[in-house]
Amino acid sequence: MNTENNDIVKYPDFPLTTKEEEDVYKLASAGMRSAEIAVSMEWPPERRRAFCIIAELPGSPLALMLAAARAEGIATPQIKLQEAATAGNIDAIKGTPEDSGAKPALRTLSTIWTMTNLPRSPPDNLEEIRFPPD
């Protein structure tokens, strides 16, 4: 039985200018999906299709960039709200959502699991995550 994995995955290239990359990152961090981003970018139909296809390939650089942007879009406001609440800001304390804590982290983990094409589904809670000992 061959236990070595010598297969190297080659993903299609989808070149973006610096401005396009910034715009795509901002739109993804706002929660937009690949099809919505493609339309917002006003690209020709062929480029939109290519963007959507490559963005949905698990582990592709484009898919990972979009996942990172979405995670940042979720985490950044949540972190700022928690910092303000910790500092005693009453409005921030009132504005802290009921599902704060583990839920945003689980959504991020779910996205990462999907993007990296890991063999099992993400855990339902953080206690199920077991890391190997160092």
Please report which helix (H) or strand (E) contains residue 63, including its range: helix 61-86
* Predicted TM-score (pTM) of this structure: 0.59
Choose among 39, 49, 40, 42: nearest CA to 14.
49
Cβ–Cβ under 8 Å, residues 28 and 64: no
Asked, for residue 1, whether it belongs to a domain, the answer is no
Residue 103 backbone phi and psi in degrees, to 5: -60, -50
Domain interval for residue 123: 18-128
Domain count, the chain: 1
Question: What spatial distance separates the first Cα and last Cα of the chain, rounded to whole Å?
Answer: 28
Q: Quick one: pLDDT at residue 38?
A: 94
Asked, for residue 75, whether it belongs to a domain, the answer is yes
Asked, for residue 90, whether it belongs to a domain, the answer is yes
**pLDDT grade for 111, boundaries at 50, 70 and 90:** low
Choose among 53, 49, 68: nearest CA to 12.
53
Asked, for residue 12, whether it belongs to a domain, the answer is no
Q: Quick one: pLDDT at residue 99?
A: 44
Asked, for residue 10, whether it belongs to a domain, the answer is no
Asked, for residue 81, whether it belongs to a domain, the answer is yes
Asked, for residue 43, whether it belongs to a domain, the answer is yes
Q: Quick one: pLDDT at residue 76?
A: 82
